[in-house]
Structure 1
Amino acid sequence: MRTELDELRPMLLEIFNHLHQHPEASWEEVETTAYIKNLLQQNGLQPQTFDDCTGLVVEIGDGPHKVGLRTDIDALWQEVDGTFKANHSCGHDAHMTMIIGVLLLLKKLNYQPSGKLKVLFQPAEEKGTGALKMVEKGIVDDLDFLYGVHLRPIQEISDGTATPAIFHGSAKFIAGEIIGEDAHGARPHLGKNAIEIGAALINEMGKIHVDPMVPSSVKMTKFHAGGESSNLIPGHASFHLDLRAQTNEVMETLTAKVEKITQAIAALYEVEIPLETKAFVAAAKVDPQAQKLMEKAIVDTLGNVTAPYPSSGGEDFHFYTVKRPHIKATMLGLGCDLSPGLHHPKMTFNHEAIFSGIEILTKTIMNTFEHLKKEAPQHYEQHC
């Protein structure tokens, strides 16, 4: 397999460089989608695009069992050297290259899966809404297994190692308003001071207690009230809340407590405080069998494996298992000397890790089809 992969190296590096140099923000991945579609068609595949959104899916083989492989395709919108622009600082350019590499390597190996391999090029991971769109379209309904991949920062995994699961936490971003009345600075009793109300929110949310064995946090990350006049007490404010929890169950508890506190303070101060969830990412649901199959592929490729670990970051990949619980899934965490960190505008990593990732994911796919064939051989005999 390494020989065939080495033969693909120049093409894969060219693909990575193109994707890296042409980043597109969430739901705007028009050229990225077109580039991947054209590339796959040139290699004898028949990708399917969508009428109402970016992204694409391609299938190989057919049979009673289905295995999926997913990559995200969007870039972050962030400030780089003083200019806001799309930027691949989360490694999605590498993820795309790896998944394309798996398809090209399987073709070069003349591998025919004993079922259907479905590969998803998913948009808008950074918005936390791309996976939900794919679920809505029914793309993953027939899958038995689903795999993903994410580069890991040097603070988590060292270069040359990998983990067969990433236990991402849940994240929720809530926008709120305080709708009160302005007042003269000399007559505070005639208004509703939005700043004081905001302070009360912060104070009470700091007292939220949930299961101490599950990492979690609630904090206000934005608050805006008032203007240029320092003798005017502002009655209106806008704010953002950032909620984190290692499990989906604790996230539900956090959300309920935040809502209850907001309602109580709104009643106490006689104001309105509407809340709106802007984005939500589910916590990981890792399947033990999927993890085991990927672990074998990692050991066969690298000779060692790093134990799975909890991560405070979020990934919309996990919506697939939350919305479709029958899917057995896990995500490869790939060490690659990534620094200074994910989402840093100057993020860099060891590009050699791309090839290790391709080999691991290819072997994981093969392992999974072999496992399914042994698990239910009669289905394959009937299909043949």
Structure 2
Amino acid sequence: MSFFCKWVSFLLILHLLLLNSCLISSDGFSQIPKKFLDLAKRDDFFDWMVGIRRKIHEKPELGYEEVETSKLVRTELDKMGVSYKYPIAVTGVVGYIGTGQSPFVALRADMDALSMQEMVEWEHKSKIPGKMHACGHDAHTAMLLGGAKLLKEHEEELQGTVILVFQPAEEGGGGAKKIVEAGVLENVSAIFGLHVTNQLGLGQVSSREGPLLAGSGFFEAKISGKGGHAALPQHAIDPILAASNVIVSLQHLVSREADPLDSQVITVAKFEGGGAFNVIPDSVTIGGTFRAFSAKSFTQLKKRIEQVITRQASVHMCNATVDFLEENKPFFPPTVNDKGLHQFFKNVSGDLLGTENYFEMQPLMGSEDFSFYQESMPGHFSFVGMQNEAHSPMASPHSPYFEVNEETLPYGASLHASMATRFLLLDSKTSSPNQSYKKDEL
């Protein structure tokens, strides 16, 4: 090898060493995200995250049943040398990277899957009948592990402590509420969460300050009548007819009682009862969800749902009982992003992806139990795009045809690591009486 080639090789190796060892201190805040992204896009790093995501995808587990997923997370944290607490909130894992001292910032990923049969045929399709990762939580977990690996490789440069929250039971189980109640986030200054979306292109992000996602609750009602032969309805009391009128009347709560400028939703998504074409059943069960952006509207909806179901059933000579399922499916508050943290997110994502790849979004009626964290501390939730322009439109979450574009994993991992690193650097400055820096100007 010529002297020139040896010299070029030496410079390349030196560049990589500097990239890894001087990530934070050399070039200032603006270079942190891009350098993290470069590291996360390395072939070995990317393949590692893809492998984790596929292992989780093959063995989906429902809320508070994430035993194998949690075990995989702990195994990877052990390999990194990251300390953690387990179990938290039944199957949750909470890890720690940094000085062990304040300030503290938290990053969150959800681990649970959905009760749904996967319809996408591919090598790593769900191996558990009736269960699948149809909302991207497998990708979220892989991204946070990727972020943890990036942070651990630069732990000595962190100006505080990053808390990694691998949370169970986001899909209706309120796992975030149990994490908060466990007391492991009491000294946290801010928490960040993200979610993959097919509504944005690869390398794009979106969010907004203030109300982002609605508060939500669930209901189930049993409507009882008197069974009989379908040819002799006069000798029966038809609960199907009563339930049908209940469903129509529930829709009027939004269309006729709610302020059109106050977004609300009631959806009946469950109707069970009967089993024969010529038999009127004794009872039927209906169930669904209701959503609103304000506590007042939410409370009013809950009250009126019970009134409509019981009284409309009575009109048809049926009895009805209503269960709001609060014990197993707690009401989710609205997801409301902190103003200062939102500006911080825009700054970090702009340095990572370019300001042209940030998109301001409108509030959505979907819900997230990330809102439980935001009730206890400043928090910010955002969406990371994964739609490839060369690919046909991807299915939306909660579809049996939902897929994840794994090319998005480095973006999520580097975004996690960048937000945590920069937040600690800025937050640590507030301890100096000579600093004019304010948290709401992050």
Letter in 2 for 1:240: G
In structure 1, C-alpha distance between the alignment counterparts of 2:248 and 2:60, rounded to whole Å: 41
CA offset digits 1:148-201 (Å, max 9, x no partner)? 110012xx3222211244822233221110123335667756653312321331
Q: Across the two proteins, how many residue pairs are aligned to each other?
A: 374
Task: State how 1:41-120 maps to structure 2 within 5 Å.
Answer: 41-50=78-87, 53-60=90-97, 61-81=99-119, 84-120=129-165
Counterpart of 2:350 in structure 1 is 299
C-alpha displacement of 1:351: 2.0
Partner residue of 2:259 out of 207, 211, 223: 211
In structure 1, C-alpha distance between the alignment counterparts of 2:346 and 2:59, rounded to whole Å: 33
C-alpha displacement of 1:133: 1.9
Q: Is contact 1:46–1:58 with CA below 8 Å preserved after alignment? A: yes
Q: Is contact 1:170–1:244 with CA below 8 Å preserved after alignment? A: yes
Task: State how 1:362-381 maps to structure 2 within 5 Å.
Answer: 362-377=417-432
CA offset digits 1:128-150 (Å, max 9, x no partner)? 32112212212333322111110
What is the aligned-residue identity percentage? 24
Q: Is contact 2:108–2:144 with CA below 8 Å preserved after alignment? A: yes
Q: Is contact 2:88–2:182 with CA below 8 Å preserved after alignment? A: no
Q: Helix, strand or coil for the counterpart of 2:220?
A: strand
Q: Helix, strand or coil for the counterpart of 1:252?
A: helix
C-alpha displacement of 1:372: 1.9
C-alpha displacement of 1:376: 3.6
In structure 1, C-alpha distance between the alignment counterparts of 2:399 and 2:174, rounded to whole Å: 22
| Range 86-95 or range 344-353, more displaced | 344-353
Q: Is contact 1:297–1:361 with CA below 8 Å preserved after alignment? A: no
Q: Is contact 1:297–1:364 with CA below 8 Å preserved after alignment? A: yes
Structure with greater Cα Rg: 2
**CA RMSD across the alignment:** 2.8
Q: Helix, strand or coil for the counterpart of 2:403?
A: coil
Counterpart of 2:204 in structure 1 is 161
Partner residue of 1:238 out of 266, 285, 296: 285
Q: Helix, strand or coil for the counterpart of 1:340?
A: coil
Q: Helix, strand or coil for the counterpart of 1:127?
A: coil
C-alpha displacement of 1:118: 1.2
- Cα pair distance change 1:189/1:282, threshold 3 Å: same
TM-score (norm 1): 0.87
Task: State how 1:1-384 maps to structure 2 within 5 Å.
Answer: 1-2=35-36, 3-7=38-42, 8-50=45-87, 53-60=90-97, 61-81=99-119, 84-153=129-198, 156-165=199-208, 167-182=212-227, 191-208=236-253, 209-228=257-276, 230=278, 233-269=280-316, 271-278=318-325, 279=329, 280-304=331-355, 305-322=358-375, 324=376, 327-337=377-387, 339-377=394-432
- Cα pair distance change 1:248/1:84, threshold 3 Å: farther
CA offset digits 1:186-241 (Å, max 9, x no partner)? 775665331232133123222212121132222322323444373x5444221113
- Cα pair distance change 1:174/1:41, threshold 3 Å: same
Q: Is contact 1:12–1:101 with CA below 8 Å preserved after alignment? A: yes
Q: Helix, strand or coil for the counterpart of 1:311?
A: coil
C-alpha displacement of 1:9: 3.1
CA offset digits 1:338-378 (Å, max 9, x no partner)? 71222233333432221122222222112322332233435
Q: Is contact 2:82–2:152 with CA below 8 Å preserved after alignment? A: no
C-alpha displacement of 1:268: 4.3
Letter in 2 for 1:292: Q
In structure 2, C-alpha distance between the alignment counterparts of 1:109 and 1:364, rounded to whole Å: 14
Letter in 2 for 1:258: I
- Cα pair distance change 1:22/1:111, threshold 3 Å: farther
Q: Is contact 1:195–1:237 with CA below 8 Å preserved after alignment? A: yes
In structure 1, C-alpha distance between the alignment counterparts of 2:281 and 2:41, rounded to whole Å: 64
